[in-house]
């Protein structure tokens, strides 16, 4: 028997994207605070903050909606790499966990129905016995 695949629309993807933007903004504020404490020049850190925010906003504006979702995940992961390069291992692992959760939450939700089993797209995937 040929399996049937049903696509469940992920209606919460916009909320997940807003959470990702919030995480990115918190990281940018952390970058700015880190730069201000290490250079003793607060004005330079504000300039850096405005440049980073402008670049991120420009990228989000120019990218297609699907690419925006991918870019947000990439920004979270790159933020974690920045933190581990500065010796903040806890912030790296926090960003890594948030990136993993973001990646899992924005996946396509597919229900597979076959004669042997039904696979539901929860995390982790649930398998139910089929009709055989």
Taking only the tens place, the pLDDT of each residue in 42-52 is 556 667 777 77
Give the chain's mean pLDDT. Answer: 85
The yes-or-no verdict on residue 39 having pLDDT over 90 is no
pLDDT tens for each residue of 55-99: 888 888 888 888 888 889 998 998 899 899 889 999 999 999 999
The rounded percent of the chain whose pLDDT value lies above 70 is 90
Structural domain includes residue 50: yes
Structural domain includes residue 131: no
Structural domain includes residue 118: no
> pLDDT grade, residue 107 (50/70/90)?
confident
Structural domain includes residue 66: yes
Q: How far apart are CA 8 and CA 2, in angstroms?
A: 19
Residue with tokens 């440049």: 51
User: Quick one: 112 exposed, middle or buried, by C-beta within 10 A (0-12, 13-18, 19+)?
Assistant: middle
Which residues constitute the domain of residue 44?
11-108
Structural domain includes residue 48: yes
The yes-or-no verdict on residue 41 having pLDDT over 80 is no
* Rounded mean pLDDT, 106-115: 87
The yes-or-no verdict on residue 119 having pLDDT over 80 is yes
Structural domain includes residue 127: no
How many domains does the chain divide into?
1
């Amino acid at each position: 028997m040929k399996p049937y695949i049903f696509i469940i629309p992920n209606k919460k993807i916009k909320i997940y994207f807003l959470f990702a933007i919030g995480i990115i903004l918190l990281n940018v504020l952390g970058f700015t605070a880190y730069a201000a404490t290490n250079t003793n020049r607060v004005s330079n850190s504000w300039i850096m903050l405005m440049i980073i925010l402008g670049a991120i906003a420009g990228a989000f504006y120019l990218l297609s909606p699907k690419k925006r979702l991918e870019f947000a995940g990439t920004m979270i992961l790159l933020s974690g790499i920045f933190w581990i390069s500065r010796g903040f291992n806890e912030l790296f692992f926090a960003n890594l966990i948030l990136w993993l959760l973001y990646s899992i939450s924005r996946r396509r939700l597919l229900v597979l129905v076959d004669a042997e089993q039904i696979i539901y797209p929860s995390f982790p995937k649930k398998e139910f016995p089929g009709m055989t």
